[in-house]
């Protein structure tokens, strides 16, 4: 979706015009018939409302859409504006119209709010149609540009930044949507190389031999059943103080999770193509940070493996030695995400001494039982980091809910043969998973774990996404970087 800013005085040849309407403030310059029709349709400008009418302008029929943004002092004003931008695109994406004029005149928005409306619009336009060879013309997206008139001063400059974020979200969605026969560890890396070429991101890749030499026995144990070799992908963005220690983002990148020998049941197993959603979010965030030239030092690490059952796969009861030296009894080969993350966490701490670590992982089904699809789970050893992430979540809509941690939960991980086992008991599964990861955080480095199993994929359309990949995490981490590192 292209965004073009036009001078309000330029004559508009528009066939389709959209406006954002404040609560009880249908624009005074609207044709009286439209204003009356909107009223008859009970459109008042409330957030979430939409109205469509037609008017004759310069002898031509023009389609006019009104999207409500609610009251100026409403609690989630920016969210309402973003959703209105998104709702307009959702309505006209396959309408047959190629161009939409978004007339912001008189809406009383700040530049940030106008940028938010555009971000909502562009995010909602994303689709992945590469495997559809039989889409009929009337089902194909037609809308490809939005002409913005009446944007407040400064919107264009802000849009440059928001556009970088939208591109990052789109990249994450692409990685998450692609099936596991196209995205596996090697091709995940290749896709990132391609996308990040020329952005200034420095990419490092460890292959399976290098990881074996280092002693990453936990991550590599998961990959043993797969013919696809594991990779550790590292993306460095150095936009901050020279030599300054970075913040680390670490993603679970299980490109397909069959469960391994602890095989998952068939129903819904296809969902496990998006078990790399944490790694996808890290890659999309790094792309966004580079495109908007963030003034911060950030390193993104993705632990990439495929979890398959095979004659060579690891077995329940196997003991593996992690990079940290700690040994793990693998009780359940389906609790593989933590086995991948722990080595990635140790590696990034040894290599970069990060000031803070945030890991993202589609780690447990239990987090979906607890929070459904509205919030991701947040686990942290630092109140300050947890608060900063929570605030970024509220601001962007990638919302987080903090869970408790503690030694009482940690006890569940005791093993009769090794330093720990990889699963706890029947209850509190998301918390014991977090306790497992915490054992790999050194020197009390501020660390947060985000369990995003419930928020990466949507079975029905949301405000700023169609059904499918949501891109969860990119906007969250981008905002965290802005507020915690760049402010
Ligand atoms: N990738 C799954 C978690 C998951 C489940 C994500 C459903 C999205 C939807 C993870 O690897 C897993 O299998 N977790 C197990 C852990 C259990 C064996 C302790 C789970 O949640 O059942
Ligand atoms: Mn699993
Ligand atoms: Zn998994």
Residues 63 and 192 in one domain: no
Name the catalytic one among 15, 57, 264, 439: 264
Residues 313 and 430 in one domain: yes
Q: What is the pLDDT, as a whole number, of residue 222?
A: 99
CATH of the domain at 11: 3.40.220.10
336 lines ligand 1 (CB under 6 A): yes
Determine, yes or no, domain membership for 158: no
Determine, yes or no, domain membership for 245: yes
429 lines ligand 1 (CB under 6 A): yes
67 lines ligand 1 (CB under 6 A): no
| Catalytic site includes residue 264 | yes
Residues of the chain with pLDDT under 70: 8-12
Residues 351 and 457 in one domain: yes
* CB distance 296 to 274 below 8 Å: no
Token digits of residue 183: 């995205």
d(CA 105, CA 78): 17
Q: What is the pLDDT, as a whole number, of residue 37?
A: 98
Q: Which ligand is nearest to the CA of 454?
A: 1
Task: Tell me which residue has its CA closest to atom 16 in ligand 1.
Answer: 335
Q: What is the pLDDT, as a whole number, of residue 333?
A: 99
Residues 406 and 450 in one domain: yes
Encode pLDDT of 199-251 as tens digits: 999 999 999 999 999 999 999 999 999 999 999 999 999 999 999 999 999 99
Q: What is the distance in A from the centroid of ligand 3 to the CA of 334?
A: 7
Residues 401 and 438 in one domain: yes
Of the candidates 153, 181, 214, which is a domain's last residue? 153
269 lines ligand 1 (CB under 6 A): no
CATH of the domain at 407: 3.40.630.10
Buried b (16+ CB within 10 A) or exposed e, 445-472: bbbbbbbbbbbbbbeeeebbbbebbbbb
Residues 67 and 199 in one domain: no
Number of domains present in the structure of the chain: 2
Encode pLDDT of 426-456 as tens digits: 999 999 999 999 999 999 999 999 999 999 9
Largest Cα–Cα distance in the chain? 83
Determine, yes or no, domain membership for 159: no
Q: What is the pLDDT, as a whole number, of residue 381?
A: 98
Q: What is the pLDDT, as a whole number, of residue 12?
A: 66
453 lines ligand 1 (CB under 6 A): yes
Determine, yes or no, domain membership for 161: no
Q: What is the distance in A from the centroid of ligand 2 to the CA of 290?
A: 32
451 lines ligand 1 (CB under 6 A): no
Task: Tell me which residue has its CA closest to atom 5 in ligand 1.
Answer: 365
For the entire predicted model, the pTM comes to 0.98
∠ CA 476-255-273 to the nearest 5 degrees? Answer: 85
- Give the CA distances from residue 447 to residues 65, 85, 267, in Å, rounded to whole numbers and listed in that order: 46, 35, 35
| Catalytic site includes residue 77 | no
Strand (E) or helix (H) holding 22: strand 16-22
Residues 380 and 411 in one domain: yes
Domain membership of residue 69 as a residue range: 2-153
Q: What is the distance in A from the centroid of ligand 3 to the CA of 32?
A: 57
């Amino acid at each position: 979706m292209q965004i073009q800013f036009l001078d309000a005085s330029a004559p508009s040849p528009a066939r389709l015009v959209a406006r954002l309407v404040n609560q009880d403030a249908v624009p005074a310059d609207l044709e009286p018939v439209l204003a009356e029709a909107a009223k008859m349709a009970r459109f008042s400008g409330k957030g979430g409302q939409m109205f469509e009418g037609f008017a004759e302008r310069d002898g031509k029929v023009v389609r006019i859409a009104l999207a409500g943004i609610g009251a100026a002092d409403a609690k989630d004003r920016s969210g309402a504006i973003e959703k209105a931008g998104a709702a307009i695109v959702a309505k006209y994406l396959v309408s047959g119209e190629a161009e939409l004029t978004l007339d912001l005149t008189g809406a009383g928005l700040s530049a940030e709010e106008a940028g938010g409306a555009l971000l909502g619009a562009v995010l909602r336009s994303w689709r992945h149609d590469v495997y559809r060879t039989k889409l009929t013309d009337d089902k194909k997206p037609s809308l490809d540009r939005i002409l913005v008139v009446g944007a407040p001063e400064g919107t264009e400059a802000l849009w440059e930044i928001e556009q970088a974020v939208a591109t990052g979200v789109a990249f994450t969605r692409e990685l998450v949507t692609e099936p596991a026969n196209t995205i596996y560890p090697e091709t995940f890396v290749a896709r990132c190389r391609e996308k990040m070429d020329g952005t200034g991101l420095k990419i490092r890749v460890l292959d399976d031999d290098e990881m074996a030499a280092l002693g990453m026995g936990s991550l590599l144990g998961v990959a043993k059943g797969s013919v696809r070799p594991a990779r550790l992908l590292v993306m460095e963005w150095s936009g901050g103080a020279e030599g300054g220690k970075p913040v680390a983002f670490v993603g679970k990148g299980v490109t397909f999770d069959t469960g391994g020998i602890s095989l998952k049941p068939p129903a819904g197993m296809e969902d496990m193509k998006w078990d790399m959603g944490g790694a996808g979010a890290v890659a999309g965030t790094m792309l966004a940070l580079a495109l908007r030239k963030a003034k911060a030092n950030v390193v993104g690490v993705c632990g990439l493996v495929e979890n398959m059952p095979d004659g060579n796969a690891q077995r329940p009861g196997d003991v593996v030695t992690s990079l940290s030296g700690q040994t793990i009894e693998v009780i359940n080969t389906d609790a593989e995400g933590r086995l991948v993350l722990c080595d990635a966490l140790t590696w990034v701490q040894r290599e970069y001494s990060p000031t803070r670590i945030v890991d993202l992982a589609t780690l447990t089904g239990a987090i979906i039982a607890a929070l459904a699809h509205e919030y991701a789970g947040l686990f942290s050893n630092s109140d300050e980091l947890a608060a900063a992430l929570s605030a970024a979540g509220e601001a962007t809509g990638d919302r987080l809910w903090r869970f408790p941690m503690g030694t009482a939960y940690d006890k569940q991980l005791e093993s009769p043969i090794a330093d720990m086992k990889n699963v706890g008991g029947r209850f509190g599964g998301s918390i014991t998973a977090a306790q497992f990861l915490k054992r790999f955080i050194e020197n009390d480095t501020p660390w947060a774990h985000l369990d995003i199993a419930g928020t990466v994929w949507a079975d029905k359309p949301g405000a700023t996404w169609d059904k499918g990949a949501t891109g969860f995490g990119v906007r969250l981490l981008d905002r965290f970087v802005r507020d915690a590192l760049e402010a």
